[in-house]
């Protein structure tokens, strides 16, 4: 069975291409939300709403329709944060044919006269709006796919909390349809009532006086994190992330995560990446969650437990960082065993005992062993001198 996925906009049947109309009309079963099914009107085939919850029901649903001509309706471009990508994962790409409509992003950019390539798109549909926080920067143009009618007010709240009260907001509802509406305002004094849930929120970020934008490159200021001192400091953190080398889709274990800074910056550096922060202290683990939300990566998974036992049931990592508990019995062996071929392990040590352990692993497995020393200017009486931080020994190794 091949499922034809037809993108449909607020303009409904009249906005469909001839090929899309033919696919809907020829289908024995047309799947969609209630709103989408109403847009296509009366059709020869059976009109069937998606089950709720949808995702776990999909395999059985399509198995029951084997041999039928099936058309699935999706909003806009099905392959842009949409149904098409979901069905490719469930059924396999060879069983999907996609007939896209113009996406809400393309329509919004057309209305705003914004070049699409200059826009950062954040989907908050089924995701936390805290993801916007990773992308706020002076002058940045954001398009946020709102999750519901409260979306514009929530975007305004996030921007205000980030120090972007003056940001210009444009809410574009029912794009391309007869009920299209545009509302404008500023994030700091947004008081519009909830509108249509089918909306895109456009924001041109304007920083308040004194607001300093946070870059996506590793090495955020230490005070960007809530912490109790258990934090990989800025300069060492930047080197550590460079050695970990985040790549698309990879999973990081941050073992002995402390404030979660390594896992958080891993996710900020590569949006498609994944990370698990393992921390035995429940108070610190809760703090990691707050840091992740505040810095725009709420997808960070936090596991409360002591390594190596807490690692046993986790998905195999692409990379492992051991920042705390290097000398704990079994931690390094468990991390090494979990890594697949080509995986990378980075471990930092500040004590003589931990350094000796890394040196012994270096002798056995190779890699590189580096000592990092940072000195900061500080007052010395009436003058200024250099105050050294504790040196950090870093072992980096790729598993063959």
- At 126 the pLDDT is 85
Average pLDDT estimate for 34-40: 94
SS3 287: helix
Mean pLDDT of all residues in 263-268: 98
Please compute the mean of the pLDDT values over residues 34-63 and round it to a whole number: 94
Class of domain 222-398 (CATH, top level) = alpha beta
pLDDT classification of 324: cutoffs 50, 70, 90 = confident
Residue ranges of E strands in the chain? 3-8, 29-32, 46-49, 70-75, 96-99, 119-123, 141-145, 168-173, 181-186, 199-204, 251-255, 274-279, 301-304, 319-322, 344-349, 368-372, 375-380, 383-388, 392-398
Name the segment(s) of the chain with CATH classification 3.30.950.10. Answer: 105-204
Question: What pLDDT was estimated at residue 48?
Answer: 96
In this prediction, residue 21 has a pLDDT band, given cuts at 50, 70 and 90, of very high
Interval 270-287 mean pLDDT: 97
The CATH number of the structural domain formed by 3-102 is 3.40.1010.10
Residue-wise pLDDT tens digits, 182-230: 999 999 999 999 999 989 999 999 999 999 999 999 999 999 999 999 9
- Asked whether the beta carbons of 187 and 155 are under 8 A apart, the reply is yes
Helix (H, G, I), strand (E, B) or coil at 201: strand
- Total Cβ atoms within 10 A of residue 206: 18
Mean pLDDT of 311-317: 96
> Per the confidence metrics, is the pTM higher than 0.85?
yes
**400 class by beta-carbon count within 10 Å (0-12 exposed, 13-18 middle, 19+ buried):** exposed
Q: How far apart are CA 232 and CA 262, in angstroms?
A: 7
Average pLDDT over residues 286-305: 98
pLDDT tens-digit series, residues 235-263: 999 999 999 999 999 999 999 999 999 99
Provide, rounded to the nearest whole percent, the portion of the chain with pLDDT above 90. 97
Check if the beta carbon of residue 250 is closer than 8 Å to that of residue 267: no
Per-residue pLDDT tens over the stretch 2-18:
999 999 999 999 999 99
Region of poorest pLDDT, from 1-5, 96-100, 272-276: 1-5
Residue 219 CA neighbour count, 13 Å, CB half: 7
CATH 3.40.1010.10 intervals, the chain:
3-102
pLDDT reported for residue 46: 95
CATH class of 105-204: alpha beta
How far is residue 71's CA from residue 98's CA, in Å, rounded to a whole number? 10
Are the C-beta atoms of residues 5 and 45 closer than 8 Å to each other?
no
The pair of structure tokens assigned to 153 is: 């007010």
Tens digits of residue pLDDT in 102-143: 999 999 999 999 999 999 999 998 889 999 999 999 999 999
**CATH 3.40.50.150 residue ranges for the chain:** 222-398
- Which element (helix H / strand E) includes 167? none
- What local confidence, expressed as pLDDT, does residue 243 receive? 98
Beta carbons within 8 Å of 136's beta carbon, 6+ residues apart: 142, 158, 159, 162, 164, 205, 213, 296
């Amino acid at each position: 069975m091949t499922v034809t996925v037809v993108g449909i906009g607020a303009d409904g049947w009249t906005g469909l291409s001839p090929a899309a109309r033919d696919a809907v009309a020829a289908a024995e079963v047309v799947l969609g939300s209630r709103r989408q099914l109403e847009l296509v009107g009366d059709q020869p085939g059976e009109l069937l709403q998606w089950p709720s919850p949808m995702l776990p029901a999909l395999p059985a649903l399509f198995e029951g329709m084997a041999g039928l001509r099936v058309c699935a309706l999706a909003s806009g471009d099905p392959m842009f944060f949409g149904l098409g990508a979901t069905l490719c994962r469930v059924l396999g790409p060879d069983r999907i044919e996609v007939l896209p409509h113009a996406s809400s992003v393309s329509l919004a950019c057309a209305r705003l006269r914004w070049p699409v390539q200059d826009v950062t798109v954040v989907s908050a549909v089924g995701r936390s709006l805290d993801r916007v926080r990773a992308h706020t920067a002076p002058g940045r143009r954001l398009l946020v796919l709102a999750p519901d009618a409260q979306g514009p007010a929530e975007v305004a709240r996030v921007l205000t909390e980030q120090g972007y009260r003056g940001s210009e907001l444009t809410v574009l509802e029912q794009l391309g349809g007869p009920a299209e509406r545009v509302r404008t305002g500023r994030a700091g004094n947004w008081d519009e009532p909830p509108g249509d849930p089918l909306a895109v929120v456009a924001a041109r970020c304007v920083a308040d006086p004194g607001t300093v934008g946070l870059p996506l490159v590793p090495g955020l200021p230490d005070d960007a994190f809530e912490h109790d001192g258990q934090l990989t400091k800025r300069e060492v953190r930047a080197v550590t992330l460079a050695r970990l080398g985040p790549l698309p889709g990879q999973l990081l274990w941050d073992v002995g995560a402390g404030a979660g800074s390594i896992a958080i910056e891993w996710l900020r550096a590569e949006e498609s990446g994944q990370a698990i922060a393992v921390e035995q202290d429940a108070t610190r683990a809760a703090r990691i969650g707050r840091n992740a939300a505040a810095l725009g990566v709420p997808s960070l998974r936090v596991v409360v437990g002591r390594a190596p036992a807490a690692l046993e049931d986790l998905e195999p990592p692409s990379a492992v960082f051991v920042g705390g508990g290097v000398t704990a019995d079994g931690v390094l062996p468990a991390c090494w065993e979990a890594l697949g071929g080509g995986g990378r392990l980075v471990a930092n040590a500040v004590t003589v005992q931990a350094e000796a352990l890394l040196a012994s692993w270096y002798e056995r497995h190779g890699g590189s062993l580096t000592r990092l020393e940072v000195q900061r200017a500080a007052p010395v009486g009436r003058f200024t001198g250099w105050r050294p931080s504790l040196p950090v020994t870093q072992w980096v190794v790729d598993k063959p």
